[in-house]
A and B are shown apart, each in its own frame.
Chain A
């Protein structure tokens, strides 16, 4: 297929496909039922998510001309940038609305966005789209095939550990309790920029979380594709799509609510702006700096790790400004780098008001290594300078899903094959700039983060460079070599995503309404029996404490001490209390009567870098206090595997003689 495929041929092919589908699906039984079930079950929340992004686009489409001296001419880039700006506006509005407790009225804001979208469409009806190139059509089809199970996964109930811990709960809490940080609910001290956006759309559909996550991911895919196209043409764009979607972790994480994948949209938008500025120095002005600050701020408000990827963007933009001798722009860039602090100010302010650390759920994080987050689980086994230097090889060549080196994911070997091509193309200024951003971001990630999920915001950028590399290696060698390499790449991509692909298909039953959503959730969450007991036996609205519990499945309860990984917050709280009796007193003061506990042994051998004293303080002592609490001051009400539900005993008093 060439890029000059006549339009009539595409129409014929499309009509033939539709006709075939119409002929086959109704007679295939399962297919028709599946489609109907999916439309009825997953369609509404997906439509809600689409309408939220539509509102964002409506606001963004009007604001882009104001924010930028020169709007991007590339329609794909424009769509990404408009949507990202719109999300910035929605996020700021939602945060400001949450302060007086008005997030529940978010649908009204979305309504304004829809009006803006319609008005924009009517006023500036876009020109008929240019027919995409054959490479783009083929690559998009492949990408759609690779991501196909995501359509099912978005219809499944959120059962990821972080989803159950706070991504589902936080939007509800923001609507119900406002912006305040609860000092005993550590995750309420995290930045919640994504959750206010979810909160805005809760009125449309309560289950829009996963569909919205998918749309954010697709935004990242579009951004990555446009970056690749602008760096290396449509061939690069095609390769980039295959590499981007041919990563198992991208497929697994895209339909799952997380604060990592959404950052890709904002980072992609920022890089597209940077490319504009490179292509046309007139765009490298103060407004560009401001736009960068807004995008970085919104991303920072979603997750503080955004700084790891936006800092290189600022650095490269700064270098460009200095080389162009645009010192006011450089100064504006320095100033705009401070904008994210403003975006994070509401969260930090709420934390300070609640008496916890401005950035993190509790005080004293840096004071004692015994209570540092992820002391060993994330970094210990693979930490150190040599591990840092070896990271690309470890991750891209050796990396497997759920890797013993704690990468916990797989992105495939794409960058290894692409690097030579990127070096060939690196003579071009734009490629060099994006390569610098990706490399710096990767190096920063490999230090403190080192988990594949945390790298996903950068993955579309890396994949775009991979696409450029492949295109560079095959360009000018006839039609067959690119086609051959592309075919091999598709096979490799299919092999890469196969486990995640088949895992995603397992969601088809629940996504099409053939399996009950709550039953599916309970069958996948290991703590579901304990939480079912809580829901059935305790009054809605009551307060439930947890210890070493990651998952929370009690939407109508106030939950304290939910935690992740090795739960430093819980360990610190227990250690500071000093005795089971004191913990019981604290919990009674907080109004908690029930405690959900996961039995969590910590092996000394798992913390080789800790001293015995630190381990005793950070791990042994908290478990002693918890043991005292559960054995001497609480009563086991329910037990299911590692999980137990305990009722806090009433304060001891002399019992009346019972007959």
Chain B
């Protein structure tokens, strides 16, 4: 790896902890001969090797870090304190709200409501507002849609958890469950519970579970087998031939890139292209499959996690001693020791969760939630973490039925639940109501705060556009949240080959379209060339 000449990210990473704020500035390239010089105005600071620690910082501070080789300043970055704000997240029966100081005034569907105190979390006071699914919970200047996450109740699936002889399969893919006729042969797909299992082929052969991984949100399967590389869905298999694929792990993919971890190098290539990008780092023998999302790739080496930017070429060690990374366009989540950490990749304030999840590699993401296994005492549960708010919104599992995540798709979260020592069963926690955030699966405008789950919104400048793709498994109504703010623009919804333009007006939830089963919809927010711009916030899929 080349010597560092700059930082890995465009901003200083900040993590909110119960007793203060931890600042980090990973460098791009080798840190040999490099030192970091931190300075903070408005708060006390102590150094932690290369990081800076601000114990109980006030509401206002500014931190600066300089990258030095000798006395030469190669680069510098600054970060200001994130403005104190309320944090909120939907739960099954209402919403959790985090705050400092006095308990906020709360309404549910515009009627005053009580916010019941809960145990404090990460230095925040927390209270719970009871509300039915779909109710609007308003607090301060934020709003949350209650019940917008997978239900507590789970529906058993017919597939057995170990039929593939691989811990990641069977798994939800493209609205159904992809499983195996025999261990090691990923060759059966069932679109809906009770339906027939259809044969799956990759060229002329079954897919090996060790050569495949599921894309975020379960939209498709990435496969690299023999000399063929591509994605698979029940309706389509995009296969291209490669020169050679001596992979050290299964391939990873998101909507735009494949990430290929080989014994001696990491490569990425855009879908439909043979032009391979090679981050400027020679991977040490890694472990686990790489992660790719939002133009970034992450892979684990024995002692550290590497992060590379496929567009800018910046690559370097991101963090030491972590396990089980989950990468999304806005967040990177991993386990360190007995805690789970989520760091914002677009400047958001990160969070640490007191969740011991390093023991197992089972992970799933659902919209802006990350599902991780969590062990406490003699129990293994699945904890649903909400990185934008830093709150743990639910724990699934009991002493009799341990639960770990298996995957997710547009219809909800799939878990394995089992009695200790038994194989157990797969079950789906359906999500009748989904609220998609800027920081979640869509990444509209790379907003730095969450919207409908308790934060602000993104603002598109005149002429600017933001778009994202939504997978719909079951029929659903698509709506968008109209925040207060400029509304000079419109929304285009493209589904089943038809583009519908919807003018934006008013506030609150605004219906956009009715989407049929197994649809891929493209939603494009367009700010008018003239005007004040367009405030963009959450989307909702309602199939109640």
**A residues apposed to B, CB below 8 Å:** 532-533, 536-537, 599, 601, 620-628, 630-632, 634-642, 644, 646, 649, 655, 657-659
Bound complex: CA of A5 vs CA of B475, how far in Å? 88
Q: Are B53 and A659 in contact (CB under 8 A)?
A: yes
Measured between C-beta atoms, what is the minimum distance from B435 to chain A in Å?
32
User: Which residues, 266 to 311 on B, are CB-close (under 8 Å) to A?
Assistant: 285, 287-288, 302
Q: Are B210 and A655 in contact (CB under 8 A)?
A: no
Q: Are A639 and B288 in contact (CB under 8 A)?
A: yes
Give the residues in chain A near B210, CB-CB below 8 Å: 640-641
Measured between C-beta atoms, what is the minimum distance from B338 to chain A in Å?
6
Query: Is B421 at the interface (CB under 8 A from chain A)?
Result: yes
Q: Are B167 and A639 in contact (CB under 8 A)?
A: yes
Q: Are A599 and B162 in contact (CB under 8 A)?
A: yes
Bound complex: CA of A644 vs CA of B162, how far in Å? 14
User: Which residues, 162 to 204 on B, are CB-close (under 8 Å) to A?
Assistant: 162, 165-167, 183-184
Q: Are A635 and B422 in contact (CB under 8 A)?
A: no
Query: Is B102 at the interface (CB under 8 A from chain A)?
Result: no
Taking A536-B285, A655-B338 as contacts, is the C-beta distance between A599 and B360 under 8 angstroms? no
Give the residues in chain B near A533, CB-CB below 8 Å: 287
Measured between C-beta atoms, what is the minimum distance from A233 to chain B in Å?
51
Q: Are A635 and B167 in contact (CB under 8 A)?
A: no
Give the residues in chain B near A634, CB-CB below 8 Å: 359
Give the residues in chain B near A622, CB-CB below 8 Å: 421
Bound complex: CA of A2 vs CA of B234, how far in Å? 69
Bound complex: CA of A630 vs CA of B373, how far in Å? 13
Q: Are B165 and A631 in contact (CB under 8 A)?
A: no
Bound complex: CA of A625 vs CA of B358, how far in Å? 20
Q: Are A632 and B421 in contact (CB under 8 A)?
A: no
Q: Are B421 and A621 in contact (CB under 8 A)?
A: yes
Give the residues in chain A near B48, CB-CB below 8 Å: 659
Give the residues in chain A near B402, CB-CB below 8 Å: 631
Q: Are B287 and A631 in contact (CB under 8 A)?
A: no
Measured between C-beta atoms, what is the minimum distance from B326 to chain A in Å?
15
Query: Is B380 at the interface (CB under 8 A from chain A)?
Result: yes
Give the residues in chain B near A649, CB-CB below 8 Å: 359
Give the residues in chain A near B124, CB-CB below 8 Å: none
Taking A601-B423, A639-B167, A639-B288 as contacts, is the C-beta distance between A631 and B209 under 8 angstroms? no
21 contacts between A and B (CB under 8 A): A537-B302, A599-B167, A620-B421, A622-B421, A624-B421, A624-B422, A627-B420, A628-B378, A631-B359, A631-B375, A631-B380, A636-B360, A637-B287, A641-B165, A641-B166, A641-B209, A642-B166, A659-B17, A659-B20, A659-B22, A659-B53
Chain B: interface residue total (CB-CB under 8 A): 35
Q: Are B20 and A631 in contact (CB under 8 A)?
A: no
Bound complex: CA of A277 vs CA of B364, how far in Å? 75
Checking B288, B302, B375, B421 against A536 with a beta-carbon cut-off of 8 angstroms, the contacting residue is B302
Query: Is B428 at the interface (CB under 8 A from chain A)?
Result: no
Measured between C-beta atoms, what is the minimum distance from A1 to chain B in Å?
49
Taking A639-B288, A657-B19 as contacts, is the C-beta distance between A601 and B359 under 8 angstroms? no
Bound complex: CA of A631 vs CA of B378, how far in Å? 9
Measured between C-beta atoms, what is the minimum distance from B393 to chain A in Å?
23
Give the residues in chain A near B338, CB-CB below 8 Å: 655
Contact with A along B388-432 (1 / 0, CB 8 A): 000000000000001000000000000000001111000000000
Query: Is B323 at the interface (CB under 8 A from chain A)?
Result: yes
Checking A532, A536, A624, A640 against B420 with a beta-carbon cut-off of 8 angstroms, the contacting residue is A624
User: Of all chain B residues, which has the CB nearest A646?
Assistant: B359
Query: Is B361 at the interface (CB under 8 A from chain A)?
Result: yes
Give the residues in chain A near B378, CB-CB below 8 Å: 628, 632
8 closest residue pairs by CB, A with B: A624-B421, A623-B421, A635-B359, A627-B421, A624-B420, A659-B53, A627-B420, A631-B380
Measured between C-beta atoms, what is the minimum distance from B315 to chain A in Å?
22
Q: Are A658 and B422 in contact (CB under 8 A)?
A: no
User: Of all chain B residues, which has the CB nearest A655?
Assistant: B338
Checking B19, B20, B287 against A638 with a beta-carbon cut-off of 8 angstroms, the contacting residue is B287
Bound complex: CA of A630 vs CA of B302, how far in Å? 20
Query: Is B339 at the interface (CB under 8 A from chain A)?
Result: yes
Query: Is B123 at the interface (CB under 8 A from chain A)?
Result: no
Bound complex: CA of A646 vs CA of B402, how far in Å? 19
Query: Is B140 at the interface (CB under 8 A from chain A)?
Result: no
Checking A626, A640, A644 against B421 with a beta-carbon cut-off of 8 angstroms, the contacting residue is A626
Measured between C-beta atoms, what is the minimum distance from A619 to chain B in Å?
9
Bound complex: CA of A610 vs CA of B394, how far in Å? 42
Give the residues in chain B near A599, CB-CB below 8 Å: 162, 165, 167
Contact with A along B32-69 (1 / 0, CB 8 A): 00000000000000001000010100000000000000
Checking A627, A630, A631, A658 against B339 with a beta-carbon cut-off of 8 angstroms, the contacting residue is A658
Give the residues in chain B near A601, CB-CB below 8 Å: 162, 423
Query: Is B337 at the interface (CB under 8 A from chain A)?
Result: yes
User: Of all chain B residues, which has the CB nearest A632?
Assistant: B375
Give the residues in chain B near A637, CB-CB below 8 Å: 287, 323
The listed residue with most B CB atoms (<10 A of its CB), out of A621, A632, A637, is: A632
Q: Are B287 and A625 in contact (CB under 8 A)?
A: no
Give the residues in chain A near B302, CB-CB below 8 Å: 536-537
Give the residues in chain A near B53, CB-CB below 8 Å: 659
Give the residues in chain A near B22, CB-CB below 8 Å: 659
User: Of all chain A residues, which has the CB nearest B336?
Assistant: A658
Measured between C-beta atoms, what is the minimum distance from B444 to chain A in Å?
33
Q: Are B358 and A635 in contact (CB under 8 A)?
A: yes
Measured between C-beta atoms, what is the minimum distance from B239 to chain A in Å?
23
User: Of all chain B residues, which has the CB nearest A640?
Assistant: B210
Bound complex: CA of A639 vs CA of B287, how far in Å? 8
Measured between C-beta atoms, what is the minimum distance from B39 to chain A in Å?
18
Measured between C-beta atoms, what is the minimum distance from A455 to chain B in Å?
30
Bound complex: CA of A17 vs CA of B98, how far in Å? 90
Bound complex: CA of A312 vs CA of B402, how far in Å? 56
Taking A631-B402, A635-B358 as contacts, is the C-beta distance between A641 and B184 under 8 angstroms? yes
Give the residues in chain B near A626, CB-CB below 8 Å: 421
Given pairs A599-B165, A627-B421, 6 additional interface contacts (CB within 8 A): A601-B423, A631-B402, A649-B359, A655-B338, A658-B337, A659-B22
Bound complex: CA of A249 vs CA of B423, how far in Å? 36
Bound complex: CA of A626 vs CA of B167, how far in Å? 16
User: Which residues, 116 to 154 on B, are CB-close (under 8 Å) to A?
Assistant: none
Bound complex: CA of A635 vs CA of B183, how far in Å? 25
User: Of all chain B residues, which has the CB nearest A598?
Assistant: B165
Q: Are B361 and A636 in contact (CB under 8 A)?
A: yes
Measured between C-beta atoms, what is the minimum distance from B172 to chain A in Å?
19
Contact with A along B300-340 (1 / 0, CB 8 A): 00100000000000000000000100000000000001110
Give the residues in chain A near B421, CB-CB below 8 Å: 620-627
